Amino acid sequence: MLTSSFSVLGLIAAYLVANGAGQIYSSYYARKKFRVEFDTSALLKIFIVSGLSSVVPALIIGFAGLSAILSVGIGVALYLFSYLSLLPLTKAVTLSELKQATFVVKKTALLARVAKPVIAYQQRLLRFKVGLSGDKFKESYP
């Protein structure tokens, strides 16, 4: 119904509403049936970072008047850069989580090649945010 009325935007809205409703129900069911607890503050940080990361690409794409393929490419690159930068700066990701991610991805060679520079970049941003370097950083974040 939304797609026939609003075209692509209606399809996107319908998709978001359907997935949101399913996620809310699944979360409710997991809490009641399996007593699963969610770290709502961490989830909220991730949602905020995700929303903020989409602002710059949306503004640039909206006003640049580029071709569709170029807009998608630039939008994806800007979004990923801002998202991966804001995660450690807002402490939505911690050093222990980055270490755990390193351990998980090192078992798959291709994934490790892609993830290693991303994890190193986020670790540098965490050091910058905390204002520590080297050994002091390792002592503060076990």
Give the model confidence (pLDDT) of 83-141 as tens digits. Answer: 999 999 999 999 999 999 999 999 999 999 999 999 999 999 998 877 755 555 554 54
117 plus 141 within the same structural domain: yes
Number of domains in the chain: 3
The pLDDT confidence band at residue 20, using thresholds 50, 70 and 90, is very high
- Does residue 142 surpass a pLDDT of 50? no
9 plus 22 within the same structural domain: yes
97 plus 141 within the same structural domain: yes
97 plus 138 within the same structural domain: yes
In this structure, what is the dihedral angle of CA atoms 20, 28, 90, 135, given to the nearest 10 degrees?
-140
- First-residue to last-residue Cα distance in the chain: 52
103 plus 84 within the same structural domain: no
- Does residue 49 surpass a pLDDT of 80? yes
Residue 100 domain boundaries: 93-142
69 plus 52 within the same structural domain: yes
| 1-10, 45-54, 62-71, 133-142, range with the lowest pLDDT | 133-142
DSSP for residue 107: T
The pLDDT confidence band at residue 61, using thresholds 50, 70 and 90, is confident
111 plus 142 within the same structural domain: yes
Residues 6+ apart with CB under 8 A from 6: 13
- pLDDT of res. 130: 76
- Encode burial over 56-83: b for 16+ CB neighbours within 10 A, e otherwise: ebeeebeeeeeeeeebeeebeebbeebb
45 plus 33 within the same structural domain: no
